Structure 1
Amino acid sequence: MWQQYSDAVLEREYSPSSVASNYPAVVAAYSAKSEAISASLVSYRVPYGASADEYSIVFPALARFRRDAIVIFIHGGYWRELSAEDSCFPAREFVERGVGFAAVNYTLAPVTNLETMVQQCANAIRAIAVAHPEAKLVIAGSSAGAHLAAMTATLDCDGELAVRVKGYVLASGVYDLRPIVRTYVNQPLHLTPESAVAVSPMFVTPRHRVRALVCWGEHETAEFKRQSRDYAQHLSDHEVPVRLLEIAGRNHFDILFDLAAPSTEFGAAVDLLIGAHAMAANRKRVIPEVRNPALELSLVRDIDISTNESRDEAVKTTAGEPMVSFEGKSNPYIDYHRNDLLLSIQHMRSEGHDEMVFILMTQCKELTFKAIHYELYNMQLRIRKDDVSGALELAPRVKRLFEYLVKTWDVLSTITTHGFNEFRNHLGVSSGQQSYIYRHVEFILGNKSKRLAAAHSNNPDVYPQLKESLNSPSLYDDVLALLHRRGVPVPEVALKRDWSQTYESNPDVEKAWLTVYADPSPDNDLYVVGEALIEIADLFSQYRWRHFTSVERILGFKPGTGGSAGVGWLKHVVEHRFFPELWSIRTVLGA
């Protein structure tokens, strides 16, 4: 520990320029870039006190992209150098992506002390919040600025402001000031070992338990790296979701050039924190392969492409009436949808009247499960890419599809016991549990079963795809990995496990979700993800319940056709819960 270091070693360890030979050029670039940006972008000052030093420079987001978020940056300089004017260089990349940027100015040492600087930064944040009442706020700081930002998170503030602060970005900070008492850094600060503790965030309980990104450059001294790791642990111990990040190739000073650059690891992490990542342009739908595509491709027919121009021309020739003349033996509607095939696969095997509706509704369910799997698969891919907003865009459709699926039992329940018995024997041993598309939906939601997958091992057109799904992470597995990337403590056993096993509840995962649910606001996208998942799980449970009650009403306790115990088997299925921790936390929430 630092207590064993000599004064000479401490001097070197707390001199970040000792491992950053480009220090003079980088600091000069801060000023030059800031001056150029201030000359080319709209900005204004927001005062927060009577002193000439008490102001922030605010760069509003470009209106056409505005996302109602502001990054408030507190500069470093070991509390005695630099200013807001030197700290405007990240502004352009933020405002062009729709995020406002503010550089905070504060009085430097030895003119004032650290307690005053902390209060000034807190006042600056409050003034910016008042001036921009709709904006969510992300507080960022570098070096001494990271210390000041961290200290503001330990202060009491009114509830509305606390809700609007969505995260902290702490780069290369000093969080335990005791070591610097013995260094040159303390000359203008006049700290004692006792007073250093009082202004060290390492020894103060954080009051804002929102997400924090604690990062540092690869080329930092050992003490600066230790300070960041220790403080991240301190935050985690106080239930603050924290992410640690060492930025490859960067040092204490040039790390800031990545702050607003989304193409870099640091900038991408910042964007995730503020929810500003514009992923939509890069989204491409993916069609999951659930069987050998050869059969489907053999059934595709070519149709002509139409355009706005061709449609305008067509309506002139038809006088606004539907077309009724087509070449060949088909028409474009049939060729596009292949409803000639769709309407030709209801082969009744008995004389029972109700068999037709049974076949049709079963086929409706199969198609609906395919639509659900398609949407869930794309949700999962977007979660993997940290495109949470894109994933959430698909959730309402998944829910509507499940609602539609539940309603299929309204029709199937019109089949009476007598009506079902008229064709039941003709089912042989066929059962809905043999549906491979249903199994894909179960697997992507986490209910894995090697035994039930094996029902398709004799089918080379289906089994390879089902086996791959069995051995791949589920949507829930990828959501837990997302929580981990966001700094929410998720146990290793949940992140690296045998994906072919049914997911089982874990008390540490429950704690992770309780951390997320500590901020049940619409701006907390992880909370919104949790609620979307529980709604999907609830609707699937409703589908299973309707299946259970409909079978009991029609068949009683007769064995199922596919070898199961019928209602007895379905009762086991009904009791299963997808995403179990999202259910179990309800007992704890608000208790």
Structure 2
Amino acid sequence: MNDGPTAAAELSPDDPLVQPFTGPSPYDDYVRATLLNTLQKPLTEAAVEMGFLVTTQVMELWFTLIAHEWRAAREAFAKDRLPDAMDALLRSRHAAGALNCSWLPIAGLTPAQFNELRPAFGKASGFQSAMYRHLEFLLGEKSAALLRSHHGDPVVYEGLREAYHEPSLYDEVLRFLHRRGLPVPEVVRERDVTTPYTAHQGVVAAWRHVYAAAEPHPLLALAELLTDLAELVTRWRFDHVMVVRRAMGTKGGTAGSAGLHWLEQRATRPVFPELWTVRGDV
């Protein structure tokens, strides 16, 4: 007999929810779940390879979403639409938090486990991720050499080439600050956006107006939200370092990279650097 709460929740054969679909379900048409679930193709017998594939594919999806939100924020700043920019940055902060949690399934790989699946990589490396490169370009980490490395894939290359020549998110933030009356130097506002962004003392001075104001400055929430994002990006980079250090130590990376040493160097590069410097000036 089954007359408890479960029975009450059972669907009748006539319920619309259980009627057969003609072709894929509307859910699958929209989410493309069946397609997503066919994209994992392990190449070894390693028990951990499926987790590695799913983890890296999920990260690529988070990269896509974060890049989308940062582009939306950049466009809103360029049009002086601060509420829209803040909304996009808030959404990206949630996505970046989820991205960082994505390390968990593979964070404890042992060297033996990693060695089992490493032959599947061939010459592949996370270093080659085009969507992560979009994120770095949006942060002002421009590199002509890394752009050229994608030249063999015309579609990917064209998208990155466009991103390379566009202002970064931070470039548009600083131009927005200037239009709001903060003293962002012209040399920063008119800089060559195809070069890596470097810290400028004049930008520190501009942020100091925000942080040292007697009353809470209207742009303090923006400054703190950008700092949140900078911290999340840095934590993701350091978590990457720790995953690699635990799984393979100081061995050279795939595709000829320097592995751990290269990641450690990248992890120490500050994101939105003046927002960290100004804290010591207040």
How does the TM-score come out when normalised to structure 2? 0.92
Equivalent positions of 1:28-67 (< 5 A) are: none
Q: 2:145 aligns with which of 445, 451, 456?
A: 451
- The aligned amino acid for 1:428 is G
By how many angstroms is 1:513 displaced?
Answer: 0.9
The superposition leaves residues 179-237 of structure 1 with CA deviations (integer Å, 9 ceiling, x where unpaired) of xxxxxxxxxxxxxxxxxxxxxxxxxxxxxxxxxxxxxxxxxxxxxxxxxxxxxxxxxxx
Q: 1:376 aligns with which of 61, 67, 70?
A: 70
- The aligned amino acid for 1:323 is V
CA RMSD of aligned residues (A): 1.6
- 1:284 alignment partner in structure 2: none
**Contact 2:245 2:260 survives alignment (8 Å):** yes
By how many angstroms is 1:562 displaced?
Answer: 2.2
Counterpart Cα distance in 2 of 1:535 and 1:478? 18
Name the structure with the higher helix share. 2
By how many angstroms is 1:503 displaced?
Answer: 0.3
Q: Is 1:515 aligned with 2:209?
A: yes
Q: 1:560 aligns with which of 253, 265, 269?
A: 253
- 1:400 alignment partner in structure 2: 94
Counterpart Cα distance in 2 of 1:356 and 1:318? 37
By how many angstroms is 1:416 displaced?
Answer: 2.0
**Contact 1:447 1:578 survives alignment (8 Å):** no
- The aligned amino acid for 2:278 is I
- 1:386 alignment partner in structure 2: 80
**Contact 2:97 2:232 survives alignment (8 Å):** yes
**Contact 2:63 2:135 survives alignment (8 Å):** yes
Q: Is 1:527 aligned with 2:220?
A: yes
Q: Is 1:545 aligned with 2:238?
A: yes
**Contact 2:108 2:243 survives alignment (8 Å):** no
Equivalent positions of 1:250-399 (< 5 A) are: 320=15, 322-328=17-23, 330-399=24-93
By how many angstroms is 1:354 displaced?
Answer: 0.7
By how many angstroms is 1:324 displaced?
Answer: 3.3
Aligned-pair identity (%): 39
- The aligned amino acid for 2:136 is E
Q: Is the partner of 1:570 in helix, strand or coil?
A: helix
- The aligned amino acid for 2:196 is T
**Contact 2:108 2:246 survives alignment (8 Å):** no
Counterpart Cα distance in 2 of 1:376 and 1:435? 18
By how many angstroms is 1:521 displaced?
Answer: 5.6
By how many angstroms is 1:393 displaced?
Answer: 1.6
How does the TM-score come out when normalised to structure 1? 0.45
Name the structure with the higher strand share. 1
**Contact 1:537 1:578 survives alignment (8 Å):** yes
- 2:267 alignment partner in structure 1: 574
Counterpart Cα distance in 2 of 1:544 and 1:520? 35
**Contact 2:223 2:275 survives alignment (8 Å):** yes
- 2:187 alignment partner in structure 1: 493
Aligned residues: 271
Q: Is the partner of 1:383 in helix, strand or coil?
A: helix
By how many angstroms is 1:334 displaced?
Answer: 1.6
- The aligned amino acid for 2:64 is K
Structure with larger Rg: 1
Higher RCO (C-alpha under 8 Å, 6+ residues apart): 2
By how many angstroms is 1:395 displaced?
Answer: 2.2
**Contact 1:444 1:475 survives alignment (8 Å):** yes
User: Any unmatched runs of 5+ in structure 1?
Assistant: 1-316
Change (3 A) 1:521 1:473: farther
By how many angstroms is 1:318 displaced?
Answer: 7.2
Q: Is 1:461 aligned with 2:151?
A: no
Q: Is the partner of 1:462 in helix, strand or coil?
A: helix
**Contact 2:13 2:19 survives alignment (8 Å):** no
By how many angstroms is 1:380 displaced?
Answer: 0.9
